[in-house]
Amino acid sequence: MSTQNVKAAIIKENGGSEKFEIATQEVGSPVSGEILIKHKAIGLNFIDVYHRTRISDNYAVSLPAVLGMEASGIVEEVGNGVTHLNTGDRVAYAATPPGAYCEARVMPAKQVCKLPDAISFEEGAAMMLKGLTVKYLFHDTTELTAGDQVLFHAAAGGVGLIACQWARSEGIELIGTAGSDEKCQLAKKFGASKTINYSDRNFAEEVMKITNGIGVPVVMDSVGKSTFDESLSCLKDFGIFISFGNASGNIDPVDIGILAKRSLKITRTGLFTHISDFKRCQEMAKVLFEKVVSGDVKIQIDQTYSLDDIALAHDSLEARKTTGSTVITI
């Protein structure tokens, strides 16, 4: 079995971005069900921050660890039993376990997808986790159709800008929140029907104005603690609150009795359950790729860093200074 030494960003303990160390690690050959991939670009996501800080036991990783859940590159070697990929294929993935913050890695193949030639490596690295998230939010967690309304928090972020465009392409009325007028304008440009700057307006009050006091049937939220209570007040009777992130911290324990008055529903979803099955993962990726290749969805990459600057990338993301997607180039 041949081996190679590659650069990687490693953490040996949980904490701030200063815990990252740039080091070399040894990479061998794939065994059955695995591939060796040489990365071209790596995606940055808030789940990486959760892993680094261990925001809760749900995000614990074995230390030392290479973080990162999303990347693109070229297949260098294929293990036995892998039939959907070949050496030399352009590929992209959102996958478990973490390990994308490196030049090359051996990893399970089932969540790795062939990347169409019309999509760049940078776009591929920026779109998989975020784009597949939008796919399951809109069509698996709840089924949104033309004319439906949804309140979408953090609408100018990586997931948010994809959601804005996806909504526009399917006639869905997306009301987006963001933390500045500039971010609101960006979300509107990418397809949000209405936007609310939550830094100077109460978003719940604005939602009720927009909906003539009725509320929305769906709230999609990756912010968490700081938006939860007001989000529930935005829902109409029988509405659903969908949590898919905790950027502001974990939501406090909830007395589910508060849902009874209006028969509301709450769910906490996660991408990796949806793509744990090989066939479902590949089918979801096909839908996403079609959205991008058709032009319905443009992947907005607003920040680019080198692997050496991974700590700076994390700092910007945590401070909510970013818009669109952030990519680490190799």
pLDDT digits (tens, 9 = 90+) for 51-95: 999 988 989 999 999 999 999 999 999 999 999 999 999 999 999
Token pair belonging to 42? 């790596």
**Cis peptide leading into 30, omega within 30 of 0?**
no
Tell me which long-range contacts 254-259 makes (C-beta under 8 A, separation of at least 24).
258/232
Compute φ and ψ for 114, nearest 5 degrees. Answer: -65, 135
Domain 4-128+272-329 - what CATH class? alpha beta
Q: What is the share, in percent, of the chain residues with pLDDT greater than 70?
A: 100
What value, to the nearest 5°, has the Cα angle with vertex 159 and ends 157 and 160?
60
Q: Which amino acid is at 284?
A: M
What mean pLDDT do residues 287-293 have?
98
Residue 300's pLDDT is what? 93
**What value does the mean pLDDT of the chain take?**
96
Token pair belonging to 101? 């913050």
Residue 47's pLDDT is what? 93
Residue 2's pLDDT is what? 77
Residue ranges of domains in the chain:
4-128+272-329, 146-268
Is the per-residue pLDDT at 1 higher than 80? no
Residue with tokens 């800080």: 53
pLDDT in tens, 179-201: 999 999 999 999 999 999 999 99
What mean pLDDT do residues 161-176 have?
98
Reference 85, options 115, 64, 55; nearest CA is 115
Residue 182's pLDDT is what? 96
Going by pLDDT thresholds of 50, 70 and 90, the confidence category of residue 248 is confident
Residue with tokens 């089932």: 110
Q: Are 220 and 140 in contact (CB under 8 A)?
A: no
Reference 149, options 127, 136, 167; nearest CA is 167
Going by pLDDT thresholds of 50, 70 and 90, the confidence category of residue 250 is confident
Is the per-residue pLDDT at 321 higher than 70? yes
Residue 83's pLDDT is what? 97
Compute φ and ψ for 72, nearest 5 degrees. Answer: -140, 160
CATH number for the 146-268 domain, one of 3.20.10.10, 3.50.50.60, 1.10.10.10, 3.40.50.720? 3.40.50.720
- 293 vs 248 pLDDT, higher one: 293
Token pair belonging to 165? 């465009």
**pTM (global) more than 0.85:** yes
Residue 246's pLDDT is what? 84
Residue with tokens 């609408």: 155
CA atoms within 13 A on the CB side of 55: 17
Listed in sequence order, the residues at least 6 apart from 21 whose beta carbon sits closer than 8 Å to its beta carbon are: 9, 10, 11, 12
pLDDT in tens, 4-44: 999 999 999 999 999 999 999 999 999 999 999 999 999 99
- The alpha-carbon radius of gyration of the chain (Å, integer) is 20
Residue 251's pLDDT is what? 87
Q: What is the DSSP letter of 215?
A: -
